Structure 1
Amino acid sequence: MVQNKKALLFAVALGMIFMAPAGAAENQKKLKAAVNVQESAEKAAAVSQKKIDSIADQAERMLTEYKLIMRQYDALKGYNDQVARIVKAQNEELSTIDQQLLEIDTTNQGVIPLMGRMVDTLDKFVALDVPFLPDERSKRIEELKTLLDRADVTVSEKYRRIMEAYQVEMEYGRTIEAYTAELAEAGKKRSVDYLRIGRMTLMYQTLDKKETAVWDNEKRAWQVLGEEYRKPIMLGLRIARKQAPPDLIKLPVSAPEKAQ
Structure 2
Amino acid sequence: MKLITPSLVVILASFSTSTVATSFENAQSIQLSTNTASASSQKRIDTVAENSLILQGDIDQLKEEIKNLQVYQNHLTALIESQSQEALNLQSQIEEINNTRQGVVPLMYQMISGLKDFVESDLPIKHATRLERISKLERMMVRADVSDAEKYRRILEAYQIELDYGIKLGTYQGKISVDGNLRQVQVLHLGRVSLVARSLDGTKSWVWDQLQNQWLQLDSSIKPNLDKAFNVATKQAAPSLLTLPLSQTLESK
Q: Same fold, TM exceeding 0.5? A: yes
2:219 is the alignment partner of 1:194: no
> How many correspondences in the alignment?
241
Of 32, 43, 51, the match for 1:39: 32
Q: Give the letter for the 1:68 counterpart.
A: Q
**Residue 231 of structure 1 corresponds to which residue in structure 2?**
224
In structure 1, distance between residues paired with 2:62 and 2:185: 92
What is the deviation of 1:254? 4.2
Q: Structure 1 residues 53, 223: closer, same or farther in 2, change over 3 A? A: same
* Structure 1: tracts of 5 or more residues without a match: 1-19
Q: Structure 1 residues 254, 182: closer, same or farther in 2, change over 3 A? A: closer
In structure 1, distance between residues paired with 2:45 and 2:66: 30
In structure 2, distance between residues paired with 1:90 and 1:141: 45
4+ runs deviating over 6 angstroms:
none
What is the deviation of 1:234? 1.6
In structure 2, distance between residues paired with 1:72 and 1:220: 89
What is the deviation of 1:147? 2.4
The answer to which of 115-124 and 218-227 deviates more is: 218-227
Matched residue SS, 2:185:
strand
2:112 is the alignment partner of 1:156: no
**Residue 54 of structure 1 corresponds to which residue in structure 2?**
47
**Residue 25 of structure 1 corresponds to which residue in structure 2?**
18
Q: Structure 1 residues 50, 249: closer, same or farther in 2, change over 3 A? A: closer
Q: Structure 1 residues 259, 120: closer, same or farther in 2, change over 3 A? A: farther
What is the deviation of 1:185? 5.5
Of 200, 203, 222, the match for 1:207: 200
Report if the CA contact (8 A) 2:210-2:248 is conserved: no
In structure 2, distance between residues paired with 1:36 and 1:63: 39
2:67 is the alignment partner of 1:74: yes
Percent of pairs with identical residues? 32
Q: Structure 1 residues 150, 229: closer, same or farther in 2, change over 3 A? A: same
**Residue 144 of structure 1 corresponds to which residue in structure 2?**
137
- TM-score computed with the length of structure 2 as normaliser: 0.84
Of 87, 92, 95, the match for 1:99: 92
Report if the CA contact (8 A) 2:205-2:218 is conserved: yes
2:86 is the alignment partner of 1:87: no
Q: Structure 1 residues 168, 215: closer, same or farther in 2, change over 3 A? A: same
Q: Give the letter for the 1:81 counterpart.
A: N
Q: Give the letter for the 2:194 counterpart.
A: T
What is the deviation of 1:102? 0.5
2:245 is the alignment partner of 1:252: yes
In structure 1, distance between residues paired with 2:248 and 2:185: 25
**Residue 167 of structure 1 corresponds to which residue in structure 2?**
160
Matched residue SS, 1:247:
coil
Matched residue SS, 1:131:
coil
- TM-score computed with the length of structure 1 as normaliser: 0.82
Q: Give the letter for the 1:212 counterpart.
A: S
